[in-house]
Amino acid sequence: MDCIIGIDGGGTKTLLRVVDGDKNVICELLGDGINRYSMPADFVRANLAGLMDKALSLVPGARVLAICLGTAGAVNERDKSFYREILLAYSDRIEIYDDAYVMLFANLRNSPGIVFTCGTGSIFYGKGNNGEIARVGGWGHMMSDEGSGYEIGLAALKAAAKSYDLQKEPTKLMELLLESFDCNDFFELIDKVHTQNHNKKQIAMLAAQVDRAAHMADMSAAGILTNSAMQLCDMCGILINRLSLDSASFLVMVNGGVIQKSAFVREIFDAEMKKKHPMCTVRDVCMDSVWGAIEIAFGLLERRVSPPTFIT
């Protein structure tokens, strides 16, 4: 059976979808992460090849006509070559992009606009009226990830420390942070934060507690979330200016836990975007990245996908 494969590879999980020539789903599998910047290369190879092998074992006689992979681990040509070498064992038609571009392809297609993800991290892509592509953010939590869950979680921990230094009464945010780390007091919180090797995702999960605190009228938590929303607006504004999107109507499509699950962040973001950029319409993404990868893979067969034109 002839088939096409689309893959969305993250740091903690990977979604693979196999479709036939009419885009009917033959099988769909969820596997471990394949971001080469968050795990050893051997793990990435084993995870990606293992997922491919498992998928093809479910499709007897499968002939893979094309594969498109979208992953945050594809930052440069060296990264793309790394993934391509693994996938060449399964097909000779392969495209590799970062996951945010594939999300843009899935949701905007021929329309101008912006697609961004704000969850644990954040990354922003925009498409101009002439099809040119620009990216901002997504350069990792040490250098970027504006407005993200990680930034919110880190800001909450810093706010707790500042509150203690100022000898303020325990706030709702402090109470919820102590609850999250199963601590009895501030000094136990310090110990657990610094000795238990909490990773980026675990710190980002604190954003949910910040959201809870904000809805309990904690002013510090509200300020942290307001700052997150404003940073997201600022990053979109960079793309809007770079791509001259304000000259006509355009979409801003959003994805990720912070912007989709925090009503506090979303309300401020939507209002600020409409005030600054009245030509925009904000919506949730409607297609997942894997469908974007599948469309790109079909384009390889039909010779209708040319490399995007990126501008800086």
**Which phi and psi (to 5°) does residue 47 adopt?**
-65, -45
pLDDT of residue 307: 64
Rounded CA separation 249/238 (Å): 17
Find the farthest-apart pair of alpha carbons in the chain and give their distance in angstroms, rounded. 69
DSSP state of 59: S
Whether residues 245 and 117 fall in one domain: yes
Q: What is the mean pLDDT of each run of 10 residues along the chain (312 residues)?
A: 93 91 96 88 96 95 95 88 97 93 91 94 93 91 91 96 90 95 94 85 93 96 98 98 94 95 97 97 95 93 68 71
pLDDT of residue 74: 86
Tokens of 56: 């093809």
pLDDT of residue 75: 82
Q: How far is CA 74 from CA 11, 35, 69, in A?
A: 12, 8, 9
Whether residues 117 and 205 fall in one domain: yes
Any domain includes 266 = yes
Any domain includes 24 = yes
Whether residues 56 and 130 fall in one domain: no
Any domain includes 207 = yes
Q: Which one of 97, 126, 144 terminates a domain?
A: 97
Residue 255: give its domain's CATH number. Answer: 3.30.420.40
Q: Where in the sequence is the domain holding 116, given as residue range(s)? A: 100-287
Whether residues 127 and 252 fall in one domain: yes
pLDDT of residue 304: 57
DSSP state of 6: E
Rounded CA separation 162/271 (Å): 30
Rounded CA separation 292/298 (Å): 10
Whether residues 194 and 264 fall in one domain: yes
Any domain includes 174 = yes
Rounded CA separation 245/129 (Å): 7
Q: How far is CA 308 from CA 30, 83, 128, 298, in A?
A: 28, 19, 11, 16
Tally of structural domains, the chain: 2
Tell me which residue has tokens 């899935």.
Answer: 106
Q: What is the CA radius of gyration of the chain?
A: 21
Any domain includes 304 = no
Rounded CA separation 233/237 (Å): 6
Any domain includes 309 = no
**Which phi and psi (to 5°) does residue 154 adopt?**
-65, -40
pLDDT of residue 10: 80
User: Under a CB-based contact definition with an 8 Å cutoff, are residues 97 and 296 in contact?
Assistant: yes
Q: Is residue 103 within a helix (H) or strand (E), and if so which, with residue range? A: helix 99-108
pTM of the full structure:
0.87
Any domain includes 302 = no
Any domain includes 303 = no
Rounded CA separation 98/2 (Å): 26
Whether residues 154 and 190 fall in one domain: yes
Rounded CA separation 163/178 (Å): 13
CA end-to-end span of the chain, whole Å? 42
pLDDT of residue 312: 65
